[in-house]
Amino acid sequence: MEIESANPRNHGQGAIDRMQVDQTELLRRCQAGDELAWEVLVRQHQGRICAVAYGYVGEQDEALDLAQDIFVRIYQRLETCIDAEKFVSWMLRIARNACIDHLRRRKARPPRQDIPADDMVGLKHGGPTPEDRLISSTRQRMVHRALQKLSEINREIIVLKDIQGLPLEEISGMLDLPLGTVKSRSSRARIELAKAVTDLGGGPENQPGAEAMS
């Protein structure tokens, strides 16, 4: 199976963009302990894993730590992935489980005295913050903030279905919910997200240059 690198924005991924890598062979080499193959695999999927982690935890440093943990888990379980064509969904399943474990541990910890996100605007100085570098688009930042206001299950469905594009059948298996339930929840989750965006003052009317519904 040949898959082109998914995202042209990837750092240092130019060579991977220009070539097509046989994913089956890549996976086999990773399983055999080939460091170069593993590096290419991480480069190919780091954007996706970071996005999943950020979607779940909503905080940059935490998401990057978590994304590293996810890759370590993936590496330790590489041998259990026997079908390269299903590698992405296998990987997302591991990522999802790691995020859920992380959120459970976070709930068990006492809450940190964080500065509210809105107050941090006043603390900005000069150059871009790490958050700015991570999420370049104002619209995407708005949606991420709205995502954190959703219920856990709705947030999961948005991350897995609407952002990562997994088919409903796969999400149903991953969340251990009937297909019909996932379908109806998916519609409701998007409505909830749209309402959260509106409540935060976002949406097409407040984003100059953004396209409105035709």
Partner 1 sequence: MTDKRDFPNFDADAFVGGVLGRTTGGACGRAAEQLSDLMDDRLEGMDRQLVQAHLEHCTDCRELAITLGWLNPLLPQMAEIQPGPEFLAGVLARTSAAAQPVVHSEHPTGLAGAMDRVGQWWAQRIIRPEFSLQVAYAATVVLVLLTSLPGSPLRGVPGQALEVVTAGPQTLPVVGPALSQANDWLEVRTDNTVDAGYEQAGNYWQKFENGLNRRADRTAASRNELSNHWETLVDQAEARDLSGVGYEILAALSSWGTVWDQWWHESELTDGP
Binding positions for partner 1, rule: CB under 8 A: 6-7, 9-12, 31, 33, 35, 38-39, 42-43, 46-48, 50-51, 54-55, 61, 64-65, 67-68, 71-72, 75-79, 133-135, 137, 139-140, 143-144, 158, 162-165, 184, 186-188, 190-191, 193-195, 197-198, 202-205, 207, 210-214
Q: Which residue matches tokens 């809450």?
A: 111
The minimum distance between CB 30 and partner 1, in angstroms, equals 9
Q: Smaller CB distance to partner 1: residue 95 or 122?
A: 95
What 8-state DSSP symbol labels residue 107? H
Contact 8, 16 (CB under 8 A): no
The minimum distance between CB 158 and partner 1, in angstroms, equals 7
- To the nearest 10 degrees (0 to 180), the angle between helices 35-57 and 60-76 is 140
What DSSP string runs through 133-172? HH---HHHHHHHHHHTTS-HHHHHHIIIIIIT---HHHHH
HSE-up (13 A, CA, CB side) for residue 178: 3
Q: Smaller CB distance to partner 1: residue 113 or 214?
A: 214
Q: In 32-86, where does DSSP find H-type helix?
A: 35-57, 60-76
Q: CA-to-CA distance for 64 and 10, rounded, in angstroms? A: 16
Q: Smaller CB distance to partner 1: residue 26 or 78?
A: 78
The minimum distance between CB 64 and partner 1, in angstroms, equals 6
Q: Smaller CB distance to partner 1: residue 67 or 94?
A: 67
Q: Smaller CB distance to partner 1: residue 20 or 137?
A: 137
